[in-house]
Amino acid sequence: MLTAKVTQSNGHVVHVRLVQSDSTTDTTVVTGDTVAPLAMAASGEGEATTEVAKSAPNPIAPESKELYWAAGSFIVLFILMRFFFFPKIKQGMEARYAGIRGNIEGADKVKADARGDVAEYEKALDAVRAEADAANAAARAAVRDQVAAAVTQVASKAAELATGRTPDAATVQQAVTAAMESAGSR
């Protein structure tokens, strides 16, 4: 007995196969609209039946059980994420942000302390510089006075040796002052 197996896709006949019912081997492969003549030819030999095979599953559209599994998995994953994972992640992020904020505030405090220390250092440095300048000025004045006294003594001794008499102290002092000022201007 011959059986016609028809494969359909979206309501259109794609393949028609004639198969003997007692074996699984195909005898003829026919396409399209030749089903009716084959059925007529088969009826002459005996009994022929036409059986329409199920349409092939669509490889793109998921089956309903796949949709149920996907929805169930999504719901389970959503519940796990919402009640377990997200709170832990949020706590970790808040702890991290708090630590970062604390570090930034600590750095700002250290920075302000460092600026205060630098200001104190500069103030102390200015005081030391002023004190050093005063000491230098006093030392220069003392050295200048000592040099002036030494020059006065040398000049009066030289004048005494050259003239044989002691020179007037005011005249020697004027000469020393003029010499010191001209030497200082160079």
Domain boundaries, the chain: 2-52, 62-150, 151-179
Which strands form 26-30's sheet, in the order they lie side by side?
A: 26-30, 12-20, 2-9, 48-52
Tell me the C-alpha distance between 104 and 115, whole Å: 16
Q: Are 35 and 52 in contact (CB under 8 A)?
A: no
Among 31-35, 56-60, 74-78, the range with the most confident prediction by mean pLDDT is: 74-78
In the 8-state DSSP scheme, what is residue 21? T
Q: Are 162 and 154 in contact (CB under 8 A)?
A: no
Q: Would you say the pTM of this structure is higher than 0.85?
A: no
Q: What is the mean pLDDT of residues 48-67?
A: 74
User: For 60-85, where are the alpha helices, taking DSSP H only?
Assistant: 64-80
pLDDT on residue 75: 98
Is residue 40 over pLDDT 80? Answer: no
Return the higher-pLDDT residue of 22 and 47.
Answer: 22
**Stretch among 25-39, 75-89, 98-112, 133-147 having the lowest mean pLDDT:** 25-39
pLDDT on residue 94: 97
